[in-house]
Amino acid sequence: MKGRIFSVVGGMFLLTVCSKGDRGTVQAAPPAPQPAVSSDPTAGAAGGTITGKIKFTGVAPKNPAIDMSEEAACKAKYKTTPTEENVVAGPANALANVFIYVSAGVPAGQTFTAPTTPVVLDQNGCRYHPHVFGVMVGQNIEIKNSDPLLHNIKAIAKKNRPFNVSQPNAGMTKTVTFAAPEVMVNLECNVHGWMHAYVGVRPDPFYAVSGPDGSFSITGLPPGTYTIEAWHEKFGTQTATVTIAGTESKTANLTFAAH
Amino acid sequence: MTSVAHAKPAGGAHDAHHAPMSFWRKYIFSTDHKIIGIQFLFVSLFFLLVGGLLAMQIRWQLGFPGKPLPGGGILPESMVSGGVILPEYYIQLVTMHGTFMVFFAIMPLLVGVYANFLIPLKLGGHDMAFPRINMWSFWLALVAGLIMLSGFFMPDGAPRAGWTMYAPLSARPDLSGATISQKLWSISIVVLGLSSVMGSVNYITTVINHRAPGMTWFRMPLSVWALFITAILAVLALPVLQGAAIMLLFDQTIGTHFFDPGAGGQPLLWQHLFWFFGHPEVYILILPAMGMVSDIIANGSRKPIFGYHSMVFAIIGIAFLGWIVWGHHMFMSGMNPTLGSTFMVSTLLIAVPSAIKVFNWLGTMWRGNLRFHVPMLNAIGFVSMFTIGGLSGIFMAATPVDIPLHDTQFIVAHLHYVLFGGSLFALFAAIPYWYPKMFGRMMHEGIGKVHFWLTFVFYNMTFFPMHIIGMGGQMRRIYDPTIYDFLKPQQPLNEFISYSAFALFAVQFLFAFNFLWSLKFGKKASQNPWEDNGLEWSLPNPAPHGNWAPKTPNVYRGPYEFSAPEAGDKDYLPQYTKLPTDRDPVPAPLPATH
Amino acid sequence: MRWWLPDAGSTFAGPIDTLFLAILIITGIALVVVEVGLVTFVIKYRARPGRKAFYTHGSTRAEVIWTAIPAVTMVALGLISNHYWVLMKDKKSIPPNAYHLGVHAKQFEWLVTYPGPDGKLGTADDFTVRNQLHVTVNEPIAVELTSEDAIHSFFVPEWRVKQDAVPGMHITAWFQATKTGEFEIGCAELCGMGHYKMRGRVFVHTPEDYKAWVAQQAAGGTE
Amino acid sequence: MTHATQALDQMRPPHPAEPGSGVYSNKLGMWVFLASDVMFFTALIGSYIVLRFGMSSSWAQPAAVLNVPLTGLNTFLLICSSVAMVKAYAAIADGKKYFLRQVPGKTLQDGGLKFWLLITIICGAGFVGVQVFEYIKLVGHGFTPAGYREGSLLAEHALADPVKYGAGVAGMYGSAFFTMTGFHGFHVTCGVISMLYLYFTKVLPEKYSPQDYRGIEVIGLYWHFVDLVWIILFTIVYLI
């Protein structure tokens, strides 16, 4: 019941947003998604930085292969059989696709303006690119379909209004935003059961996604003591506490346990 | 409730003295059954147009999948992308086309307009039994329609579960993708049901109690008989839909689980309830058409209706059988196959009364003296098209043959042959026929004839090929048939259908023009332009408020005494004409007060 | 351009197509009678000066005739149809030696579960393939239909097979393919925005090919 | 058809075209409306039966969840109101428009229309009141249309004794119970409001007479119908 009321309210909100007519246009995806850096209003020398590497112990489970034989157009985009991206391990047990964000320590009441550059979510070869990413509340996400077939994008969210839109043709785009902080919002495609993406919605720009080598960096942090939390779709979460004074750069390495 | 307890007994009685009324009382909040009928006419013609516009978009998508819809740019991004109709919008289109056409166009056009307009006029009453309830019934219907329409302006668009609203798709927003509008559908249907029940209570009471002296049961015109039986169907069927819609609404809002299998609910329960209403509804949509067509064919043939009594019993028979066939919509639903067998037999039996009606219409024309005025043309069109619709139904009634045809375009063809070829042709006959009594002018004959012929041709070009692509296996409500190898070869036919559909839609503007133009410039009508026998033609054009009040006409004979020998040189003999040999009807002795 | 039902691909197609043809002939005759009657009357009895319509209220004999004929035809048709209906849909008609497959419908995919080498469902060696139904020709197959979310309908035109998959219900539909080759599965019940995209493919193999395919799948390879 | 000019016994059909239509319009209209209402409740009750007996797991024992004695009392209240309605009808039929009147040789005063209709209204309103009270209590215990609320008293009981409390069917139970009793309650409320309306516009001004008391007879029909429906609901929901 409550959820429904929210959805209605959220609906009205979305209506007002859409009515501004933000008809999305195709844009080139930004390089390896480090939204925090690109979207930090106070970017640059000011503020401290947290960098680190995400690793995991144990053996990474094998990613199941995806049978795309019923989607010739997607299958054609791969030389080898594509697999899911549940655990993307780098050299030396580096762990990619981990969402790292400051879960506590950012002074309450401090507000940050969302960057105007949209995050592009590309559906290409019947997979989501990127697989894990972060946005700020109110920041545009531009969903685009690069496959000549139907994808539907269903957002399963608790704090945000769920949506379910579809893109039958290649080149179609749709812009959406999230109204409330939520880690994580799940995106899925019901036409292709294997397609999943995860969005971390944050009120501040202090978040990052670990790269193929497991490294990440959160910049522009004002002095203070922060709890950073790392989220992985299979391995759960890890936290660490970091104290920043001035413009120094601290390292925080986090390690997950593969079970 | 209170209004029942309060409405004046003799309907128009309290208005019988014709005090001049304000515009509002006279045309907006009128309690005059004729004005209410006309209000229904304009409103439901509007919804007919809406339904048509939706149909055109459906045809565009099916004929030219993936091509940008002309003028689609004006639609919001949630419906089209780069002008291309999105799948979620497409299923809104099919849902709302069905909903509007069935609930807000055809049903009110037949029942709301003509039950209101004809019952008192043809039975010699001064008004409905409960004029105020009658007014409410109209305004509730309008409100229901607007609630339904508002769905399109909700953030996630109109309802998306098909006009049959099969649960759990309709009950769960996470499956349909529509949150608010799904609830609006349920609410709108509950309101509409209330309106229909109010109307039907009125019609039934009026037919039983407000007949002029001498208007015995078997002197009632078939149109009134049909509308009477229809009202009975509506009174018994719509509350069931209301009940179902309320359960659906509760599932959607307060978290009940009627149709949610997870908690022990039953999806099939919705289908049983819906079709228990839905099949009688099919006859609500066709019986009045049959009745009015009977009147018009008798008039056009200048001949008494062939087998009046069996026509009456055929109507009753169809209505009765209508209650025990709902399961034939569910042959593939996983319902117990044994039930399927019984439903198949009862369904096939409906062919019998239907055949009686068709052959009796033929018998009426046989050795007649046919006048091809526009109503007659459309009535003949009705007979030939309804025949196709009825016969194509036999294919689906035979359960094994239904397996490949169920939920394909074959069904779409069948139901359009009944609802368009049947009901709508009957309306194209009825509207010009009673137009003079409504507005005092005739609709233009020439335009009418052109409209009939073009409609007839394009209509068949549109819907007949649907049988073939249905046999080919094209499923209903699919957004893009071309992704299926077995449907690709049929695409040219789909395009042909679309072109014909656009033409068919365009032609309807002839009718709209004729209708509106004639309001002001139509030729003034004589009191009885069709030389008909009905009581309504004894009134001036347009019929005054209160009809015959304070006096009441006497009825001397049945409604179809065309070319009767005693008529002399005239070939018609109105029910109200008193011949020297006629004696005035004696009102039955008043029953003692309980 | 096809003007008829899809090519027959199962044992059901024979009786269904024959029945279809029979009904087509019956209704065809009725249609011709009515339409020809209409046209002749329209021409023959059109109003002309001096003519007057023949005054009659009908003929009981005629009405009895055109009541009786449809009644008899329809009852006969009902009996014949019912025979085949029971054969195709009744639970008791499912051949005991049928080869069982699980078909799980969800928005908007068909997930087909195969019994694996041991030929039994619900054992460890079962495997599931998306949108692909592989069966053996000339062998009775029973698909056990279930649904995840909305109501879907399993439809293979060439086989003349259609059965709704209803959430919370476990419905078994059987058939026997008579032709090897590739066909398509469609969803015949509106199940949401992706309804039309719920397309699967059917592969009818010879027994040897099927065994080979099962073995290869069980080995975990995708094609 | 009657006209404002022409005075006619209002308790007779306005215009008998032929024998057989011996019922005046308001009464006839009410009968037809009740027929449709029968179909409405048939839909609800029918679904209830289908769902309840289509269940795999056992249904909750009514007494375990519901306050049967209280509702029994409530049922009695509704029956009393029906009786009072009959008395009111009889009163106006023989012209007793008054509230209470002393009858020579009798200790008890003789009640007229005003008295008996008031009793009817009070009993009806009382019924609604008790039902609302019961709802509040039930929801308090955790019995909601969606089932047993998490962590509520009933939820715990259901865990302890799944059979008695029908843990497996709580959702259906709540759905059916609140929908059916709720819509009956709605009907009673409509009836009470209509009767209040009649009471102030027609009964107090003494508009009714042995020649015309259609309002009373028509609302009476409705009231007895609602009563009858409750007897059925009480039996299948509270007793079985």
Could you count the other beta carbons within 10 Å of the beta carbon of residue B83? 14
Domain boundary (C91, C118, C145) is at C91
For the residues C170-174, what does the mean pLDDT come to?
A: 94
Residues 6+ apart with CB under 8 A from D118: D99, D199
A81 touching C, CB under 8 A?
A: yes
C189 within a domain of the structure (yes/no): yes
Same domain, C120 and C155: yes
Q: Name the residue of chain C whose CA is nearest to B264's CA.
A: C168
Judge whether D145 lies within some domain.
yes
- Smallest CA-to-CA distance from D237 within D161, D156, D134 is with D134
CB atoms under 10 Å from CB of D21, counted, come to: 22
What percentage of chain B carries pLDDT values higher than 90? 80
pTM of the predicted model as reported, rounded to 2 decimal places: 0.91
The DSSP line for chain A is -HHHHHHHHHHHHHHHHHHT-------PPPSS--HHHHH-TT-SSSSEEEEEEEEEESPPPPPPBP--TT-HHHHTT-SSPPB--S--B-GGGBB-S-EEEEEE-SPTT---PPPSSPEEEEEETTEEESSEEEEETT--EEEEE-SSS-EEEEEE-SSSPP-EEEE-STT-EEEE---S-EEEEEEE-SSSTT-EEEEEEESSS-EEE--TTSEEEEEEEPSEEEEEEEEETTTEEEEEEEEE-TT-EEE--EEEE--
The pLDDT of residue B77 is 87
CA distances to B6, B197, B199, D11, D183 from D218, rounded to whole Å, are 10, 17, 18, 11, 21
| Burial A166-202, CB ≥16 within 10 A → b, else e | bbbbeebbbbbbbbbebbbbebbbbbbbbbbbbbbbb
Residues C109, C211: one domain?
A: yes
| Chains C, D in contact, 3 or more Cβ pairs below 8 Å | no
Domain ranges in chain A? 47-257
Quick one: tokens of A14?
């979305």
**Is B267 at the interface with chain C, CB within 8 A?**
yes
Interface test with B, best of A22, A169, A176 (most B CBs within 10 A): A169
Is C111 part of any domain?
yes
Residue C7 falls inside a structural domain: no
Q: What is the CA radius of gyration of chain C?
A: 25
Chain C residues with CB inside 8 Å of A67's CB?
Answer: 129-130, 222-223
CA distance B130 to chain C (A): 36
Domain that holds residue D102: 25-239
Q: Within an 8 Å CB–CB cutoff, is residue A70 touching chain C?
A: yes
Q: Judge whether D10 lies within some domain.
A: no
Structural domains of chain D, count: 1
Number of Cα atoms under 13 Å in the Cβ half of residue B389: 27
Nearest to A193 among C109, C132, C200 (CB): C109
Domain presence at residue C39: yes
- Residue B430's identity, in one-letter code, is A
- Most C CBs within 10 Å: which of B80, B89, B412, B475, as the mutation test of the C interface? B475
Q: Is the pLDDT of residue D239 over 70?
A: yes
Contact C109 A65 (CB under 8 A): no
In a domain, D6, yes or no: no
Got the DSSP string for A193-248? Answer: TT-EEEEEEESSS-EEE--TTSEEEEEEEPSEEEEEEEEETTTEEEEEEEEE-TT-
Least confident stretch, B21-25, B560-564, B573-577:
B21-25
Render pLDDT for D48-60 as a digit per residue (tens, 0 to 9): 999 888 887 788 8
Has the ipTM of the complex gone over 0.95? no
Give the per-residue pLDDT at D11.
56
Please report the residues numbered 152 through 181 in chain A whose beta carbons come closer than 8 angstroms to any beta carbon of chain B: 152, 154, 162-169, 171-174
Chain A residues within 8 A of C196 when measuring between CB atoms? 150
Q: Which residues pair with A151 in a beta bridge?
A: A167
Say if D153 falls within a structural domain.
yes
* C80 shares its domain with C111: no
Q: Is C27 on the interface with B (CB under 8 A)?
A: yes
Same domain membership, residue C151 and residue C196:
yes
Q: How confident is the model at residue B531 (pLDDT cuts 50, 70, 90)?
A: very high
Please name the member of D32, D169, D194 whose beta carbon is closest to the beta carbon of B205.
D32
3 state SS of D16 = coil
The 3-state DSSP class for residue C199 equals: coil
Query: Is there a domain that residue C183 lies in?
Result: yes
CATH code: domain of residue C145: 2.60.40.420
Q: Are C198 and C212 in contact (CB under 8 A)?
A: no
Tokens standing for residue D130: 């008790």
* Interchain contact B167–D (C-beta under 8 A): no
3 state SS of C135: strand
Give B457-493 pLDDT, tens digit per residue: 999 999 999 999 999 999 999 999 999 999 999 999 9
Distance from CA of A244 to the nearest CA of C (A): 48
Residue C50 tokens read as 């001096």
Interface A–C counts its CB contacts (< 8 A) at 40
Minimum CA–CA partner of B181 in chain A: A8
Domain boundary at C91, C118, C141, which? Answer: C91
Which domain range does residue C86 map to? 13-91
Q: What would the CATH number be for the domain defined by B28-538?
A: 1.20.210.10
| CATH, range A47-257 | 2.60.40.420
- Mean pLDDT is lowest, of A6-20, A88-102, B185-199, C113-127, for A6-20
Q: Look over chain B and give the mean of its residue pLDDT values, rounded to a whole number.
A: 91
CA distance B216 to chain D (A): 6
Q: Residue A214 is encoded by which pair of tokens?
A: 């497991």
Confidence band of D216 (pLDDT split at 50, 70, 90): very high
- Using left for φ > 0, alpha for ψ between -120 and 50, and beta otherwise, residue B534 falls in beta
Per the structure, the count of domains in chain C is 2
Specify the pLDDT at position A143. 95
Phi, psi of A176, rounded to the nearest 5 degrees:
-130, 160
Using the beta-carbon criterion (under 8 Å), do C31 and B391 form an inter-chain contact? yes
- The tens digit of pLDDT for each residue in B334-367 reads 899 899 999 999 999 999 999 999 999 999 999 9
* Residue extents of the structural domains in chain B: 28-538
D4/B216 touch (CB, cutoff 8 Å), yes or no? no
Task: Kindly state whether residue D11 falls inside one of the protein's structural domains.
Answer: no
pLDDT of residue C221: 58
- Distance, CA of A173 to CA of A170 (rounded, Å): 9
Q: What is the pLDDT of residue D10?
A: 54
Cα separations in angstroms, A103 against A183, A201, A202, A222: 10, 12, 9, 15
Last residue of a domain, one of C45, C75, C91: C91
Average predicted confidence (pLDDT) for chain A:
82
Mean pLDDT lowest among B49-63, B295-309, C45-59, C155-169: C45-59
Hey, what are D63's tokens? 């007494």
Chains that touch D (3 or more CB pairs under 8 A): B
pLDDT band for position B590 (cuts 50, 70, 90):
low
List the one residue out of A182, A186, A146 whose CA is nearest residue A164: A186
Q: Do B13 and D2 count as a contact with CB atoms less than 8 A apart?
A: yes
